[in-house]
Amino acid sequence: MSNNAAQDFSNALADAVERVSASVVRVETGRRQPASGLVWSAEGLIVTTAHGLERDESLEVSLESGQVHSAVLLGEDPASDIALLRVEATSLPLAERAPTDSLRRGQLVLALARPGRTVRSYLGVLSALSEQWHAPGGGRLERYIQSDVNVEPGFSGGPLIDASGRVIGLNSAGLLRGSALALSTLTIERVVNALLAHGQIQRGYLGVSSTAARLPRALAESSGQRAGLVITGLQPNGPAENAGVLLGDVLLNLAGETVQSIADLQAALEERASRALPLRLLRAGVAEEISITPSTRP
């Protein structure tokens, strides 16, 4: 690469950062180290990560212009590590969002943050990319996006952008220890809509205690999965008991989603309260399917 080409490439990356920087905000929590956030709507909606916030804290959002606004926490979903704030401001600068089908492993990405008064950036590579993924806490992410950028303190809640300056997602250090993950714009959009409507993600509740267990080889081959959830306890008159679930049953699939861990079950119950769902289970080694209607989590 010639010196001119290298300089042009460097300038293009700097331009990408500049295009997005006005949409990156600092979130002051009062007691914790400031986090970063991203303007989600011009009418004052700000998204950030949930793991650095507490409900009883006073929140302030600082813009690139130097303006500081008090913020209200509209809702949060710790399972997907997304929090939604509102500030009394209009005409906030919005960054362009990258189409999710444009992402490719190996592409250059930039992590942006505003831990202080100015924006900081790290250059890296989009190292892992896959379809839907369930976080350890049960949150459902439409895409698994991992980069090798250094998400140091203050970078959570800031955007991950492509080399054209389009937002890929929101950086999070709170979903998977030791990994720099980005919450895709698809996930953010879904969670934001739910938080605006309900203040939380409404997850269904079965009223069971369970533990993950590996299936014997013959059952694993016949069921097409290696593990399931063994029912160890039932809430009296809870949704599971009312549906006919018994102690010792092994849950395999709920509403078309494979259940091999408690996180899988939590993810399958997301936004599925109060409607009948098909539940596939093993009872005495025989596969059965019943209908169950989860209640709203108490």
> Quick check: 234 and 249 in contact, CB under 8 A?
no
Q: Which of 171, 199, 227 is the last residue of a domain?
A: 199
Tokens coding 287: 């596969």
CATH of the domain at 94: 2.40.10.120
The candidate with the shortest Cα–Cα distance to 157, out of 120, 126, 198, 194, is 120
Q: Tell me, yes or no, whether 44 and 165 share the same domain.
A: yes
Q: Would you give the DSSP letter of residue 297?
A: P
Q: Is the same domain home to 178 and 263? A: no
Tokens of 255: 């509403």
* CB neighbourhood size of 10 (10 A): 10
Determine the pLDDT at residue 56.
Answer: 59
- Same domain (yes/no): 189, 215: no
Q: Which helix (H) or strand (E) holds 257?
A: strand 257-258
- For 155, list phi and psi in degrees, rounded to 5: -90, -25
d(CA 96, CA 78): 26
User: Residues 35, 170: one domain?
Assistant: yes
Secondary element (H or E) of residue 68 = strand 68-77
Q: Report residue 249 as tokens.
A: 């049953």
**Confidence (pLDDT) at 163:** 95
Same domain, 194 and 167: yes
- Cα 248 from Cα 227, distance rounded (Å): 14
Considering its fold, how many domains does the chain have in total?
Answer: 2
Q: Which of 199, 233, 263 finishes a domain?
A: 199
Same structural domain, 79 and 163 = yes
Residue 57, number of CB atoms within 10 A of its CB: 14
Are 147 and 289 in a shared domain? no
* pLDDT for residue 1: 59
Scored b (16 or more CB within 10 A) or e, 218-244 reads: ebeeebeeebbbbbeebbeebbbbebe
Contact 43, 94 (CB under 8 A): no
Helix (H) or strand (E) holding 209: strand 208-214
pLDDT in tens, the chain (298 residues): 567 888 999 999 999 999 999 999 999 987 678 899 999 999 999 999 998 786 656 899 999 999 999 999 999 999 899 999 999 988 899 999 999 889 999 999 999 999 988 999 999 999 999 988 888 877 888 999 999 987 788 899 999 999 999 999 999 988 887 778 999 999 999 999 999 988 888 788 999 999 999 998 888 888 889 999 999 999 999 999 999 999 999 999 999 989 998 888 988 888 788 889 999 999 988 889 999 999 987 6
Whether 94 and 159 share a structural domain: yes
Name the CA radius of gyration of the chain, rounded: 22
Residues 92 and 8 in one domain: yes
Query: Is residue 186 located within the same domain as residue 285?
Result: no
The whole domain housing 252 covers: 204-296
Q: From its phi and psi, is residue 85 left (phi > 0), alpha (psi between -120 and 50) or beta?
A: beta
| 50 and 175 within one domain | yes
CB 125 within 8 A of CB 111: no
CATH no. for residue 289?
A: 2.30.42.10
Shared domain for 186 and 75, answered yes or no, is: yes
CB 227 within 8 A of CB 212: yes
Q: Among residues 163, 184, 199, which one ends one of the domains? A: 199
